[in-house]
Amino acid sequence: MKPGITKLGFVRSGALIAVLCIMMMHSTFAEIPLAERRSGYDLLSRETRAMQNDDTANPGMLWVLDGEALWRAKAGTAEKACADCHGDARETMKGIAARYPAFDPARGRPVDLEQRINICRSEQQKAPPFAYESKDLLALTVYVTRQSRGMPIEGAVDERLKPFVDAGRALFTRRLGQLNLTCAQCHDDNWGQKLAGNPLPQAHPTGYPVYRLEWQTVGSLQRRLRNCLIGMRVEPYAYGSPEYVALETFLMWRARGLPVETPAVRP
């Protein structure tokens, strides 16, 4: 069976080409004014919002429950659980995810929450680090981030993060890939307009790790960024690349003040 271009695929590429033509004509790279920033939540349908709002119906909560179990489970040759050092996550992890990626002095660069969990795992628990996008790593990340739900994103106030915010901004505004598109062209200049039938969000990482309906599972911000890059026909970076961490740092700076929604639901 040949994977032909379906009518839907054809319409989508047509729509994409139309948007590109408009974008190539004028690209302003104008940052969204602080007061106009909106989470992708505002663009969701009523039903998807209902899925996110109800903790008894939000599929992401299944990962939160798994994460809670992992938090208490002893691991590694050190036979330690996260709880042994960090106690009750509901107290000790409050606000943590809201200020990640955070600068790691030992490494001289920021690390995101997934990397921090793996650092604890290998250095403190003496256990092999989790693979990116593994169920366990996602569960722990969602569980920790969930403890910051409702809190405003701190947004890279640490001065040592400034060069990385700048590096992330450079990536965000650079033309990339076969379509020669920048992230800013869709997400700064054309948010709210439709691309292939769905509205473009401003792309704030308020709800990550997110339950993406397309994946039918929870996934990290890096996975979503890879999807963006593939959509733009850019060769995606490998998981854990400094490019992703720079982008995440910039995106969290760009989303400063917006509340954490994890686990969010998105199409």
Partner 1 sequence: MARALINVPAKAKRGEVIAIKTLISHEMETGFRHSTIGLPIPRNIITSFVAIYNKEEIFRAELFPAIAANPFITFYTVATESGTIAFEWTGDNGFSATETAAITVE
Partner 2 sequence: MDRHDGEWRSRRGILKAAGALAAGCGAAMLVRPARATPASMQIAIRNVVGSAAVQQGKVTLDIPPLVENGSTVAVSVAVESPMTPTDYVKAIHIFTEKNPQPNVISIHLGPRAGRANVATRMRLVDTQKIVAIAELSNGSFWSDTADVIITLGACLEDVI
Residues with active-site annotation: 228
If we measure between CA atoms, which residue out of 183, 197, 193, 266 comes closest to residue 229?
A: 183
Stretch that binds partner 2, among 27-35, 102-110, 166-174, 220-228 (CB under 8 A): 220-228
Alpha carbon of residue 149 to chain centroid:
15
The listed partner (partner 2, partner 1, none) that binds 252, CB under 5 to 8 Å by sort, is: none
If we measure between CA atoms, which residue out of 57, 15, 3, 40 comes closest to residue 191?
A: 40
Q: Is 175 a binder of partner 2 (CB under 8 A)?
A: no
The kind and range of the H/E element at 172 are helix 162-172
Task: Give the CA diameter of the chain.
Answer: 60
Binding mask 210-249 for partner 1 (x = CB under 8 A): ------xx--------------------------------
DSSP state for residue 169 in the 8-state scheme: H
Per the CB < 8 A criterion, the answer to whether 225 and 132 are in contact is: no
Per the CB < 8 A criterion, the answer to whether 249 and 222 are in contact is: no
Q: Is 261 a binder of partner 1 (CB under 8 A)?
A: no
The residue from 27, 228, 240, 243 that contacts partner 2 (CB under 8 A) is 228
Q: Are strands 194-195 and 109-111 parallel, antiparallel or unpaired?
A: unpaired
Backbone φ and ψ of 259, nearest 5°: -80, 150
Question: Whose structure tokens read 């990640």?
Answer: 100
Contacts of 173 (CB under 8 A, 6+ apart): 29, 182, 183, 184
The residue from 68, 112, 114, 133 that contacts partner 2 (CB under 8 A) is 133
Stretch that binds partner 1, among 61-69, 168-176, 201-209, 255-263 (CB under 8 A): 61-69
How near is the Cβ of 194 to partner 1 at its closest, in Å?
24
The residue from 18, 74, 213, 257 that contacts partner 2 (CB under 8 A) is 213
Within residues 34-93, the interface with partner 2 by CB under 8 A covers 44-48, 50-51
How near is the Cβ of 199 to partner 2 at its closest, in Å?
9
Q: Is 190 a binder of partner 2 (CB under 8 A)?
A: no
The residue from 28, 56, 77, 178 that contacts partner 1 (CB under 8 A) is 56
Q: What share of the chain is helix, strand, coil (3-state, %, to 5)?
A: 45, 10, 45
Q: Which residues contact partner 1 by CB under 8 A?
A: 56-57, 59, 61-62, 65-66, 216-217
Q: Which residues contact partner 2 by CB under 8 A?
A: 1, 3-4, 6, 8-9, 12, 16, 44-48, 50-51, 133, 195-198, 200, 213-216, 223, 226-228, 230-233, 235-236, 238-239, 267
